[in-house]
Amino acid sequence: MKKRLIVSIIIIGFLIISVLCAAGYYFSSMVITPKVWDYDETYVNELKFNRFTEQYYNSLPKEEVYIQSPNGYKLHAMYIPKGTNKTIIFIHGHTYTLMGDIKYLEMFRSLGFNALLFDSRYHGKSGGANTTFGKYEKYDVKACVDWVSQKNGKNSIIGLHGESMGSAICLLYAAIDDRCCFYIVDGAMADLQELLAYRLKKDFGLPAFPLLHSASLMSRLRGAMLFSEISPIAVVNNIKAPIFFIHGGDDTDIPVEHAQRLYNTYTGTKRI
């Protein structure tokens, strides 16, 4: 009787662990290897919603380039010169491509800025086996800043503009490299693990424990990151340049409280 009980407990324990591992793998896939937009489809999508016109896009003096990532792959990028030493680097949102940043170009070009747009790791035409929300992408941004500095000189004035996931990457990069003069972060999250717990509840009606912890471990085992590693609010005060925080009040994907907390935590020059 005792032996049968022990065997039953072992079997039940094994089944629970198996289910947790399977669920963790599935959820980690949603986070680190999501379905991403096709590059050409994002161009069509931007035209469809009148974010720019085909005539405007064709009129831009575009230079298609590939920038070597220190992580071992190439980053597809588009450089649009204006003939000055001022450059804005754009970082697009989750699952999208650099096409999502074309709509912002004219604002900065009218102020005399060159522009560098690039497809983040695992997105668009860039390489990379997965997306890590900044763990590896921050070094890709550093490679882009290196590229701009080499092209336009060490006295370059460089700013970063990040949208959604791109804004988190922007903040994580800014915490390790102080060469940029300003940061514009639109729709930033304060902490990935906290955001995913919120999304689990909102989208699936599930509690964070134990699924989120299982998914985080699976993510790390698959070569990405522990979710707890991605926390812009933990490093925001390592940033030395001014930050302009932007966040839509009706955003249900990333609640506006994330931007408010980042703003309240940051002790440097800031605006929201």
pLDDT in tens, 38-49: 999 999 999 999
> For the chain, what percentages of helix, strand and coil (3-state, to nearest 5) are there?
45, 15, 40
According to CATH, the topology of domain 37-190+230-271 is Rossmann fold (3.40.50)
Residue 15: predicted pLDDT: 64
pLDDT surpasses 70 at 6:
no
Q: Which tokens sit at 63?
A: 């230079």
C-alpha span between 167 and 251 (Å, rounded): 15
- 8 A C-beta contact, residue 141 and residue 178: no
pLDDT band per the 50, 70, 90 thresholds, residue 18: low
pLDDT surpasses 90 at 193:
yes
pLDDT in tens, 106-163: 999 999 999 999 999 999 999 999 999 999 999 999 999 999 999 999 889 999 999 9
Q: Which tokens sit at 217?
A: 């471990």
C-alpha span between 197 and 56 (Å, rounded): 41
Please tell me whether residue 149 adopts helix, strand or coil conformation: helix
Q: Which tokens sit at 252?
A: 């249900």
pLDDT surpasses 70 at 1:
no
Residue 20: predicted pLDDT: 74
Question: For the residues of 14-62, what is the DSSP string, one character each?
Answer: HHHHHHHHHHHHHHHHHHHS-----HHHHHHHHHHTTSS-HHHHHHS--
Residue 23: predicted pLDDT: 84
Q: What is the mean pLDDT of the chain?
A: 94
What ranges do the domains of the chain cover?
A: 1-32+192-229, 37-190+230-271
> What percent of the chain clears pLDDT 90, i.e. is strictly above it?
87
Instruction: Please list, residue by residue across 24-59, b when 16 or more beta carbons sit within 10 angstroms of its beta carbon and e when fewer do.
Output: bbebbbebbeeebbebeebbebbbeeeebeeeeeee
